[in-house]
């Protein structure tokens, strides 16, 4: 929502200010389609050259995040802590065998069924189930630090994939001013081929060429760069849910009491999205 509002404000202020200053949008609009074709086409081509199909699909998902916001809601963060805490409490009170059916086949688990939004996320479900499966098959004898190392590697791989679209957008933002210059240079070449035209015609052709430079800079710093920054913020928000799950698992393996386990995960969430401790404890009690 805010991304769309920002785009509207940007366009109104840039072009509105240009018109108020006495500029005419006619030459800009006349040159816009071809200049956009050159710059936009070059940008798309460069993005395709620099990424595989997998990264291009991730880029599409990343653009949805820019406009749609984080994947995980505040309630999802509460549910992730509550779900993981319940599973660890089950292992502690009933033993690893009681946990096995839930983590090896989460889609048939009565515990996971209470959290459908989390169950629909293979990355988060995989982190929980794969880690707990390791603990189950080892009958709970794994060293806690070894489990933490395994989880760190899994989270690192997941975050690397999440960050790929942001890096691609930032690379594109860095390239767009130069691609604008490419379009401008082509316009100058065209102008030089018509050097015998009267000054009024040459002025229009030079103005059209400069639209390319203008578009490259505007797209880079007004659109794509801010999108990359916004995506970085969204990814940072979504990444916290993986760290919360890890914190619950590791704190539980250390034998901390459940309120301290919950607080260790809750305190790592951003202040703007951090639930009250009582809300988390109520969620564990099923309220």
Q: What is the pLDDT at residue 39?
A: 94
* Alpha-carbon gap, residue 82 to 245, rounded angstroms: 9
> At residue 287, does pLDDT exceed 60?
no
Distance of CA 77 to the CA centre of its chain: 16
Residue 166 and residue 232 in contact, taking contact as beta carbons nearer than 8 Å: yes
> At residue 108, does pLDDT exceed 60?
yes
* DSSP three-state, residue 97: helix
> At residue 86, does pLDDT exceed 60?
yes
Contacts made by residues 28-33, CB under 8 angstroms, sequence distance 24+: 28/211, 28/214, 30/208, 31/207, 31/208, 31/211, 31/212, 32/211, 32/215
Q: What is the pLDDT at residue 258?
A: 83
pLDDT category of residue 140 using cuts at 50, 70 and 90: low
Mean pLDDT of 191-205: 80
pTM of the model: 0.86
Mean pLDDT of 234-238: 92
Domains of the chain: which residue ranges? 28-287
């Amino acid at each position: 929502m805010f991304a769309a509002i920002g785009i509207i404000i940007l366009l109104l202020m840039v072009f509105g200010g240009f018109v108020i200053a006495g500029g005419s949008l006619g030459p800009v609009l006349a040159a816009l389609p071809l200049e956009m074709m050159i710059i936009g086409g070059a940008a798309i081509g460069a993005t395709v050259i620099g990424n595989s199909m997998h990264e291009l699909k991730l880029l599409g998902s990343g653009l949805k995040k820019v406009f749609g916001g984080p994947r995980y809601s505040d309630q999802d963060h509460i549910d992730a802590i509550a779900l993981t805490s319940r599973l660890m409490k089950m292992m502690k009170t009933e033993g690893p065998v009681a946990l096995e059916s839930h983590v090896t086949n989460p889609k048939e688990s009565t515990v996971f069924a209470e959290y459908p939004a989390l169950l629909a996320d293979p990355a988060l479900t995989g982190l929980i189930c794969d880690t707990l499966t390791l603990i189950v098959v080892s009958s709970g004898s794994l060293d806690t630090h070894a489990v933490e190392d395994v989880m760190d590697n899994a989270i690192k791989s997941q975050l690397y994939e999440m960050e790929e679209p942001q890096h691609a957008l930032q690379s594109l933002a860095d390239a767009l001013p130069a691609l604008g210059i490419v379009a401008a240079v082509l316009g100058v070449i065209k102008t030089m081929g018509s050097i015998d035209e009267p000054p009024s015609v040459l002025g229009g052709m030079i103005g059209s060429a400069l639209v390319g430079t203008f578009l490259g800079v505007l797209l880079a710093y007004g659109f794509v760069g801010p999108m990359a920054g916004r995506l970085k913020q969204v990814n940072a928000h979504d990444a916290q849910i993986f760290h919360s799950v890890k914190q619950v698992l590791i704190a539980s393996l250390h034998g901390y009491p459940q309120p301290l386990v919950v607080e260790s995960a809750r305190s790592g969430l951003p202040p703007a999205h951090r639930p009250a401790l009582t809300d988390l404890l109520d969620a564990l009690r099923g309220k």
